[in-house]
Amino acid sequence: MSAVNPEPSLGELFGKLTSDVGILVRDEVQLAKVELTETATQAARAGGMVAGAGVAAFVAILMLSAAIAWGLAELMPIGVAFLIVALLWVAVGGVLFVLGRQRLQATNFKPEQTIETVQEDVRWAKQQTN
């Protein structure tokens, strides 16, 4: 009569634990990569907005300033007309810059979900060893 031992040996349990931890670590690394990619994409978009604000302000100053200033020059001295137009476009560029900077600062570079799941994994592993 052969005795069947339904409980796995310590070596088998350790092997399973090692395998499970390896899988868990790979999954956590993959999750971290996904989160960081999403965060980097958001940061790139915000940075693009700041750069776009600079380009838009520059192009607007070049293209519209001359036309508006020449129109205002019919009502006032030409130097004052150009100064007014320049200050207007500086204000527009400043507003766009501030909005882009706020979005960039609001970007969270911390992989919150990964941190949370790693903490859960640590708690689970501690429970398994008790």
The C-alpha angle with vertex 30 and arms to 24 and 35, in degrees rounded to 5, equals 125
Residues 89-110, buried b or exposed e (16+ Cβ, 10 A)?
Answer: beeebeebbeebeebbeeeeee
Q: Between residues 130 and 79, which one has the greater pLDDT? A: 79
In angstroms, what is the C-alpha Rg of the chain? 31
Q: Is the pTM of this model over 0.85?
A: no
pLDDT in tens, 54-97: 998 888 778 878 898 999 999 999 999 989 988 988 898 899 99
Contacts of 54 (CB under 8 A, 6+ apart): 93, 97
Locate the domains of the chain by residue range.
Answer: 55-114
